[in-house]
Amino acid sequence: MGGQTGQRTLFNFDITDPFEAPTLEAFREQFRALHGRNPTAADLHAYYERHPDELARRRGPGKK
């Protein structure tokens, strides 16, 4: 297995776990591909909890 977090679909391609995405943009794209809808505020909050460095990047320097 080697730590793969993919999921097989009927079309035989992998959709990776959106919560492992390195950026918020990738998270949103993967989430839409997997669930067919945009992530909710709760989904975004869960992503930021797993990726606090991405939250800091999105806020930019000097913002709190």
Per DSSP, what are the bridge partners of residue 15? Answer: 7
Q: Is the pLDDT of residue 1 over 50?
A: no
What is the chain's alpha carbon radius of gyration, rounded to the nearest angstrom? 13
Angle of helix 24-35 relative to helix 41-50, nearest 10 degrees, comes to: 130
For 3-55, write each residue's pLDDT tens digit.
Answer: 455 555 555 455 678 999 999 999 999 999 999 999 999 999 999 999 999 88
HEC per residue, the chain: CCCCCEEECCCCCEEECHHHCCCHHHHHHHHHHHHCCCCCHHHHHHHHHHCHHHHHHHHCCCCC
For 42-60, write each residue's pLDDT tens digit.
Answer: 999 999 999 999 888 888 7
* pTM confidence score: 0.67
What does the pLDDT read at residue 42? 96
